[in-house]
């Protein structure tokens, strides 16, 4: 729980998010124009998107299906009747003069998201609604000193606006919410979740209240935040700003603000007085959207295992800690990779090598699992050599490094370098005898009570065997020898 310490007491953050998630679809919501990212400006524009007179919108079934799918993934109510409204405003990048959205009757109602927090704790955040709407075009002010250009490639692209209850209480919870939502839509395949390409953007609503208060304070809305890190920074800044106002006896103006990434501050975009009156009304070109209950049931049958279920299964089936299970299921590709490694092997061992070993390397080199220098099969091969005592965990670390460098199989490296561990009791005993003989003085000290020397003897035997002595056998024999 993040509370902010003011000069007059403690304050609590109250945060609700509106996330715009672009639906994965080849065509736009009401036209057949392409949605490919990065095309030449105005290459993806149909007459409908450009709002030529007489053009009529036709709903894209795939987008409706994805909205329903997402709703089901959020354990939300699916509304079999929903209505498209016109949200009217004038802007150069909105040729129709209105955006088609859903206002009073959205396609998806109340649902929930479970946040994964530090230490394996969870917290449930309510979803208020999810509705379908069109994206707007883009005004480009940086192309010419005198003119503004308009790119309509995004105009009409299908968005899901996902609105949360004001249930979050800190920047960390907000980050956890965004991560979980992104994971869910990626698992479902309904949005690619790429915030840097604008496929997921959020408006952060934040108000402050005295710790223990039940009523909500006046909120500000920080528009169009396009990364989780920026959302967290904006929240920290905005919370302090509001506390300062409230503690000096002022009131927070309900307004729309922007996060200035270069200055690291939020600043006013428009106040409540300047707020738009959108004059929503049902779009006369579109009938109410009626869904068949059987169709919704069919979609429900095709839902994949979602992050929460996968996490719980990993804990149960592989004996993983909540934390490891959370890390492994955050991205579906990572979870799939882990399951390939773990198949028929010790789950905990597999989890350690994937999370601490491989993820560590991937993080350092900025790669994702699809670019992993070691395949799941190869990592499994290394784990097999540990499990059947061919190599110790200590040697396995060196083999792992070698695999990263050369791309060779673990078994090949062990063979070429002669790393097979010595499990032959006779051979280990012989080495121990040699070391004890050469260090008779230390043996005497050990026997006189200097227990710490045990590690010294282990080290010496390991050194003599090139680190290849089986650690368990070595420790056992050494103990016997020293106690005789
Ligand atoms: P609007 O559409 O005008 O932005 P909504 O009532 O739909 O208003 O709320 C938008 C978001 O603001 C929701 O995510 C909601 O949880 C959040 N919210 C509403 N009131 C508060 C508040 N007092 N403090 C923080 N967040 C709030
Ligand atoms: Mg809003």
Do residue 144 and residue 29 come from a single domain?
A: yes
Ligand 1: nearest atom to the Cα of 205: 26
Instruction: Kindly give the distance from the C-alpha atom of residue 3 to the centroid of ligand 2, in angstroms, as a whole number.
Output: 24
Q: Is 275 in the pocket of ligand 1 (CB under 6 A)?
A: no
Q: Is 472 in the pocket of ligand 1 (CB under 6 A)?
A: no
Mutate to test the pocket of ligand 1, among 14, 15, 16 (most ligand atoms within 8 A of CB): 16
Do residue 37 and residue 62 come from a single domain?
A: yes
pTM, to two decimals: 0.88
Q: Is 166 in the pocket of ligand 1 (CB under 6 A)?
A: yes
The bound ligand whose nearest atom lies closest to the alpha carbon of 220 is: 1
Do residue 284 and residue 358 come from a single domain?
A: no
Q: Is 252 in the pocket of ligand 1 (CB under 6 A)?
A: no
Residue ending a domain, choose from 372, 391, 417: 417
Q: Is 106 in the pocket of ligand 1 (CB under 6 A)?
A: no
Mutate to test the pocket of ligand 1, among 85, 102, 166, 173 (most ligand atoms within 8 A of CB): 166
Q: Is 234 inside any structural domain?
A: no
**Which CATH number does the domain housing residue 433 bear?**
1.10.10.410
Residue ending a domain, choose from 299, 333, 352: 299
Q: Is 259 inside any structural domain?
A: no
Q: Could you tell me the two tokens for 202?
A: 């959020």
What is the full per-residue pLDDT of the chain (484 aa) written as tens digits? 568 999 999 999 999 999 999 999 999 999 999 999 889 999 999 999 999 999 999 999 999 999 999 999 999 999 999 999 999 999 999 999 999 999 999 999 999 999 999 888 999 999 999 999 999 999 999 999 999 999 999 999 999 999 999 999 999 999 999 999 999 999 999 999 999 888 999 999 999 999 999 999 999 999 999 999 999 999 999 999 999 999 999 999 999 999 999 999 999 988 877 777 899 999 999 999 999 999 999 999 999 999 999 999 999 999 999 999 999 999 999 999 999 999 999 999 999 999 999 999 999 999 999 999 999 999 999 999 999 888 988 889 999 999 999 999 999 999 998 888 777 788 889 999 999 999 999 999 999 999 899 999 999 988 888 888 888 888 889 999 898 7
Mutate to test the pocket of ligand 1, among 163, 173, 275 (most ligand atoms within 8 A of CB): 163
Mutate to test the pocket of ligand 1, among 125, 219, 252 (most ligand atoms within 8 A of CB): 219
Q: Is 17 in the pocket of ligand 1 (CB under 6 A)?
A: yes
Q: Is 284 inside any structural domain?
A: yes
Q: Is 216 inside any structural domain?
A: no
Cα–Cα distance, 141 to 240 (Å, whole number)? 32
Q: Is 272 inside any structural domain?
A: no
Instruction: Kindly give the distance from the C-alpha atom of residue 371 to the centroid of ligand 1, in angstroms, as a whole number.
Output: 40
Q: Is 207 in the pocket of ligand 1 (CB under 6 A)?
A: yes
Q: Is 8 inside any structural domain?
A: no
Cα–Cα distance, 176 to 182 (Å, whole number)? 10
Do residue 375 and residue 458 come from a single domain?
A: no
Q: Is 154 inside any structural domain?
A: yes
Which residue, by CA, sits nearest to atom 7 of ligand 1?
A: 163
Q: Is 165 in the pocket of ligand 1 (CB under 6 A)?
A: yes
CA distances from 446 to 22, 434, 475 (A): 69, 17, 15
Do residue 145 and residue 290 come from a single domain?
A: yes
Q: Is 256 inside any structural domain?
A: no
Residue ending a domain, choose from 417, 433, 448: 417
Instruction: Kindly give the distance from the C-alpha atom of residue 59 to the centroid of ligand 1, in angstroms, as a whole number.
Output: 29
Cα–Cα distance, 19 to 190 (Å, whole number)? 14
Q: Is 95 in the pocket of ligand 1 (CB under 6 A)?
A: no
The bound ligand whose nearest atom lies closest to the alpha carbon of 272 is: 1
Cα–Cα distance, 342 to 70 (Å, whole number)? 30
Q: Is 174 in the pocket of ligand 1 (CB under 6 A)?
A: no
Instruction: Kindly give the distance from the C-alpha atom of residue 277 to the centroid of ligand 2, in angstroms, as a whole number.
Output: 13
Q: Is 19 in the pocket of ligand 1 (CB under 6 A)?
A: no
Do residue 453 and residue 338 come from a single domain?
A: no
Do residue 334 and residue 291 come from a single domain?
A: no
Do residue 289 and residue 312 come from a single domain?
A: no
The bound ligand whose nearest atom lies closest to the alpha carbon of 276 is: 1
Do residue 289 and residue 332 come from a single domain?
A: no
Do residue 352 and residue 451 come from a single domain?
A: no
Instruction: Kindly give the distance from the C-alpha atom of residue 394 to the centroid of ligand 1, in angstroms, as a whole number.
Output: 54
Q: How many domains does the chain have?
A: 3
* CA dihedral over 425, 427, 429, 431, signed as positive or negative: negative
> So what's the pLDDT on residue 418?
83
> So what's the pLDDT on residue 275?
74
> So what's the pLDDT on residue 1?
53
Do residue 472 and residue 336 come from a single domain?
A: no
Which residue, by CA, sits nearest to atom 3 of ligand 1?
A: 221
Domain housing 454:
425-483
Q: Is 216 in the pocket of ligand 1 (CB under 6 A)?
A: yes
Do residue 447 and residue 388 come from a single domain?
A: no
Find out whether 98 and 120 touch, Cβ atoms under 8 Å: no
């Amino acid at each position: 729980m993040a509370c902010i310490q003011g000069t007059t007491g403690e304050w609590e953050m109250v945060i609700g998010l509106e996330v715009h998630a672009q639906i994965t679809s080849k065509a736009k919501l009401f036209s057949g124009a392409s949605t490919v990212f990065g095309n030449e400006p105005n290459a993806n524009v149909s007459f409908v998107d450009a709002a030529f007179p007489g053009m009529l919108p036709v709903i894209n079934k795939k987008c409706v299906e994805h909205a329903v799918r997402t709703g089901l993934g959020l354990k939300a109510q699916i509304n079999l009747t929903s209505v498209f409204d016109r949200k009217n405003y004038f802007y150069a990048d909105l040729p129709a003069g209105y955006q088609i959205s859903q206002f009073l009757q959205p396609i998806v109602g109340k649902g929930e998201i479970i946040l994964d927090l530090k230490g394996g704790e969870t917290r449930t955040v309510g979803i208020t609604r999810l509705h379908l709407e069109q994206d707007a075009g883009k005004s480009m002010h940086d192309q010419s000193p005198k003119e503004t250009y308009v790119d309509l490639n995004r105009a009409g692209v299908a968005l899901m606006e996902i609105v949360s209850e004001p249930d979050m209480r800190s920047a960390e919870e907000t980050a956890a919410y965004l991560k979980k939502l992104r994971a869910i839509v990626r698992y479902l395949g309904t949005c690619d979740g790429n915030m840097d390409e604008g496929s997921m953007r959020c408006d952060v609503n934040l108000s402050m209240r005295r710790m223990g208060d039940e009523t909500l304070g006046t909120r500000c809305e920080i528009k169009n935040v396009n990364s989780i890190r920026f959302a967290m920074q904006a929240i920290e800044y905005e919370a302090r700003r509001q506390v300062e106002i409230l503690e000096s006896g002022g009131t927070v103006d309900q307004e729309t603000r922007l996060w200035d990434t270069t200055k690291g501050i939020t600043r006013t975009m428009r106040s409540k007085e300047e707020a738009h009156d959108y004059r929503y009304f049902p779009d006369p070109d579109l009938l109410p959207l009626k869904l068949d209950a059987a169709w919704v049931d069919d979609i429900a049958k095709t839902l994949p295992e979602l992050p929460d279920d996968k996490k719980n299964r990993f804990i149960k089936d592989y004996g993983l800690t909540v934390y490891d299970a959370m890390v492994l299921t955050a991205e579906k590709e990572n979870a799939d990779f882990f399951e390939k490694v773990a198949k028929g092997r010790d789950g905990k061992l597999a989890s350690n090598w994937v999370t601490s070993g491989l993820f560590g390397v991937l993080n350092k080199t900025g790669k994702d699992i699809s670019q992993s220098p070691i395949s799941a099969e190869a990592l499994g091969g290394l784990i097999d050599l540990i499990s059947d005592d061919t190599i110790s965990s200590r040697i396995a670390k060196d083999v792992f490094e070698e695999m990263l460098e050369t791309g060779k199989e673990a078994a090949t490296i062990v063979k070429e370098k002669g790393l097979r561990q010595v499990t032959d009791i006779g051979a280990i005993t012989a080495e121990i005898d040699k070391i004890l003989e050469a260090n008779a003085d230390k043996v005497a000290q050990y026997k006189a009570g200097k227990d710490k020397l045990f590690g010294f003897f282990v080290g010496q035997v390991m050194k003599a065997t090139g680190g290849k002595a089986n650690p368990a056998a070595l420790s056992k024999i050494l103990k016997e020898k020293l106690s005789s």
